[in-house]
């Protein structure tokens, strides 16, 4: 008894200094590391970029301020989270667990999926912290004759391009474009798709026919052609890109949701809700849609990966955000003409895309397995 209590106060002390250390002292190593390592990473970023941070109040742009605030927030949040987690006892599986908790536990056993989710978190963090992380300015061109087409080295991790710009920094800043577009466009498409699918599945009849015909229409069109068409004809801005990507992705979600809603509609709890006199929007939003969320989440995760690839493709064709914006696809395109003597320009951004999309796909697969109703 006393041992346990003594250990716990020692670990609490350790935990109040460095998050995660307390867990390690108390023997909960895995949990401890999940707090400790990210915190150490953030701390080393803070230390490494201390000069830049110090200079910020004077010369910082909005970007820089966001980066600093994010860093500070992360440091504090991890610290507080670790402290709270240390106090609460480890959760044991029990009969009262919600389906989401069960799914989360199942997900955690899939190591690849967990690795993927960490990678995604790290990417979004890197996206926000880019001003502090990137060693060079992504768009500044120094003495071109000296810096052009330098191969990868300690100074330039990914080498430089034709104009002497550091590719690593460009890729880092490029993540802002791709990750934002991916997230927002997918959010739009998933929301739209779920609403349409739920309406079609629930209402049936003519509403269903009309919606599904329209869905088939959009699906029959090769998506890339439609995207190229609209972006080339209208405008190359970020907004158009996001809108058009989002407004062409919803059919897949609609089909999935419609199928699920159709089968749910016959289930007793929906019939009970109808018998109780609930109005349709309430039934839809509070009873039906929460039950179809699982495949929607999977579809959304995989959709983000898909969107990132498409955005890269559009940028590759010159239809993405205009230069000097460092889009991943754009950099690959730049590297195309100098492929034989400067292979690094095209290779690294592409590799980054593969890694990012791989992470999303791993997570999506992991979610699909975890949320599989047959495993409950």
Q: Which residues bind another protein (CB under 8 A)?
A: 213, 216-217, 219-226, 228-230, 232-234, 305, 309, 312-313, 316-318, 329, 332, 335-336, 339-340, 343, 346-347, 350, 353-354, 357-358, 360-362, 365
CB of 316 to another protein, least distance (A): 5
Nearer to another protein by C-beta: 10 or 339? Answer: 339
CB of 138 to another protein, least distance (A): 20
Alpha carbon of residue 242 to chain centroid: 15
User: To the nearest 5 percent, what fractions of the chain are helix, strand and coil?
Assistant: 75, 0, 20
Burial of 149 (0-12, 13-18, 19+ CB in 10 A): middle
CB of 73 to another protein, least distance (A): 30
Between CA 173 and CA 129 the distance in angstroms is 10
Burial 61-76 (b: 16+ CB within 10 A, else e): eeebeebbebbeebbe
Nearer to another protein by C-beta: 31 or 106? Answer: 106
Detail the DSSP E strand segments found in the chain.
none
Give the SS3 label for residue 215.
helix
CB of 368 to another protein, least distance (A): 10
Query: Is residue 211 within 8 Å of 200, Cβ to Cβ?
Result: yes
CB of 45 to another protein, least distance (A): 27
Cis peptide bond upstream of 286, omega within 30: no
How many Å from the N-terminal Cα to the C-terminal Cα in the chain? Answer: 37
CB of 148 to another protein, least distance (A): 20
Nearer to another protein by C-beta: 183 or 343? Answer: 343
CB of 95 to another protein, least distance (A): 14
Pick from 359, 355, 342: which is nearest to 156 by CA?
Answer: 342
Between CA 216 and CA 40 the distance in angstroms is 50
CB of 359 to another protein, least distance (A): 8
Give the SS3 label for residue 372.
coil
Query: Is residue 298 within 8 Å of 214, Cβ to Cβ?
Result: no
Nearer to another protein by C-beta: 228 or 262? Answer: 228
Nearer to another protein by C-beta: 55 or 210? Answer: 210
Element of type H or E holding 130:
helix 130-133
Nearer to another protein by C-beta: 28 or 223? Answer: 223
Nearer to another protein by C-beta: 131 or 349? Answer: 349
Nearer to another protein by C-beta: 72 or 151? Answer: 151
Between CA 357 and CA 304 the distance in angstroms is 8
CB of 201 to another protein, least distance (A): 20
Nearer to another protein by C-beta: 34 or 254? Answer: 254
The encoded tokens of residue 180 equal: 């934002």
Task: List, in sequence order, the alpha helices (H) in 26-128.
Answer: 29-48, 50-59, 62-87, 99-108, 111-128
């Amino acid at each position: 008894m006393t041992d346990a209590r003594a250990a716990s106060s020692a670990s609490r002390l350790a935990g109040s200094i460095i998050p995660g250390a307390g867990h390690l002292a108390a023997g909960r190593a895995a949990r401890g590391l999940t707090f400790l390592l990210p915190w150490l990473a953030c701390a080393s970023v803070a230390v490494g970029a201390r000069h830049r941070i110090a200079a910020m109040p004077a010369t910082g742009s909005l970007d820089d301020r966001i980066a600093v605030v994010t860093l500070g927030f992360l440091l504090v949040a991890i610290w507080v989270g670790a402290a709270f987690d240390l106090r609460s006892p480890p959760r044991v599986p029990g009969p009262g667990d919600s389906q989401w908790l069960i799914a989360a536990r199942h997900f955690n056993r899939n190591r690849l999926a967990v690795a993927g989710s960490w990678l995604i978190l790290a990417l979004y963090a890197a996206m926000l912290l880019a001003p502090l992380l990137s060693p060079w300015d992504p768009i500044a061109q120094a003495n071109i004759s000296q810096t052009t087409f330098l191969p990868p080295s300690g100074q330039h991790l990914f080498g430089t391009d034709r104009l002497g710009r550091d590719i690593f920094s460009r890729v880092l800043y490029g993540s802002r474009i791709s990750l934002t577009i991916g997230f927002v466009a997918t959010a739009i498409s998933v929301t739209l798709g779920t609403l349409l699918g739920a309406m079609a599945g629930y209402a049936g009849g003519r509403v269903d026919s009309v919606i599904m015909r329209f869905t088939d229409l959009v699906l029959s069109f090769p998506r890339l052609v439609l995207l190229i068409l609209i972006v080339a004809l209208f405008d190359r801005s970020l907004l158009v890109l996001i809108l058009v990507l989002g407004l062409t992705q919803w059919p897949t979600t609609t089909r999935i949701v419609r199928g699920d809603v159709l089968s749910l509609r016959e289930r007793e709890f929906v019939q009970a809700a109808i018998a109780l006199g609930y109005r349709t929007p309430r039934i839809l939003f509070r009873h039906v849609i929460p039950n179809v969320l699982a495949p929607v989440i999977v579809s959304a995760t995989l959709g983000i990966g898909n969107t990132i690839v498409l955005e890269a493709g559009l940028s590759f064709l010159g239809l993405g955000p205009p230069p000097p914006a460092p889009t991943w696809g754009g950099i690959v395109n730049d590297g195309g003409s100098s492929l034989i003597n400067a292979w690094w320009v095209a290779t690294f951004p592409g590799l980054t895309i593969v890694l990012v999309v791989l992470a999303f796909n791993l997570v999506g697969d992991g979610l699909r397995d975890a949320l599989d109703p047959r495993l409950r």
